């Protein structure tokens, strides 16, 4: 990897991160090479019941991204584009894995563009070795007794072991 040159653009990488996987981490690292500032934004979603609390998810994200200088971890509520505007972010980053992901993401991106045309959504690919990874699948495998070593940062493995006594 080359050295990161400075640039004026802030990108937001939004998600539930329940928990962060190595696929997310891979996308975050790639963002760091393209944008001056990367905000990993944890969505506060009242409707869903996450495995990890917001505080736990933020802590794990901070631990996993601590070595990346231009990354910050935050939480947000409400419309993503409103949040982006407040943070003066011009870019929303989404990682795409599969075709089905892509269609949903396209729909969201078009709606977001309609809500604020000055904020652009860009799509990035995680490394192909993470193409099948999702937070849901990680939790499912761990819950059933499988190893998630190599699929999530060490801090998540520890947290999963504490959270789920299997």
Specify whether 48 is catalytic. yes
SS3 160: helix
SS3 158: helix
Contact call for residues 158 and 30 (beta carbons, < 8 A) = no
Specify whether 57 is catalytic. no
Specify whether 97 is catalytic. yes
The stretch among 15-23, 53-61, 120-128, 153-161 that binds a copy of itself (CB under 8 A) is 120-128
Note whether 164 binds a copy of itself by CB under 8 A. Answer: no
Which residues, including other chains, have CB under 8 Å from residue 5's CB and lie 6 or more apart? Answer: none
Alpha carbons within 13 A on the beta-carbon side of 140:
5
Q: How far is it, in rounded angstroms, from Cα 136 to Cα 101?
A: 14
The stretch among 15-23, 26-34, 64-72, 155-163 that binds a copy of itself (CB under 8 A) is 26-34
The stretch among 16-24, 52-60, 67-75, 97-105 that binds a copy of itself (CB under 8 A) is 97-105
Note whether 36 binds a copy of itself by CB under 8 A. Answer: yes
- Please state the closest distance from residue 2 (CB atom) to a copy of itself, in A: 5
- Please state the closest distance from residue 139 (CB atom) to a copy of itself, in A: 12
Specify whether 135 is catalytic. yes
Phi, psi of 47 (to 5 degrees): -70, -35
| Active site members | 24, 48, 97, 135
């Amino acid at each position: 990897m080359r050295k990161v040159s400075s640039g004026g653009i802030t990108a937001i990488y939004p998600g539930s991160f329940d928990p962060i996987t190595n696929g997310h981490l891979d996308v975050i690292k790639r963002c760091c090479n393209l944008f001056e500032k990367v905000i990993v934004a944890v969505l506060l979603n009242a409707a869903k019941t996450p495995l990890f609390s917001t505080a736990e998810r933020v802590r794990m994200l901070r631990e996993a991204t601590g070595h990346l200088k231009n990354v910050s971890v935050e939480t947000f509520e409400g419309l993503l584009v409103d949040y982006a505007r407040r943070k003066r972010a011009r870019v929303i980053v989404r990682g795409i894995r599969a075709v089905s992901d892509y269609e949903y993401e396209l729909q969201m991106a078009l709606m977001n563009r309609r809500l604020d045309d000055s904020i652009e959504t860009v799509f990035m690919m995680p490394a192909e070795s993470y193409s099948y990874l999702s937070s849901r699948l990680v939790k499912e495998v761990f819950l059933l007794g499988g190893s998630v070593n190599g699929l999530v940062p060490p801090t998540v493995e520890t947290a999963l072991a504490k959270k789920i006594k299997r």
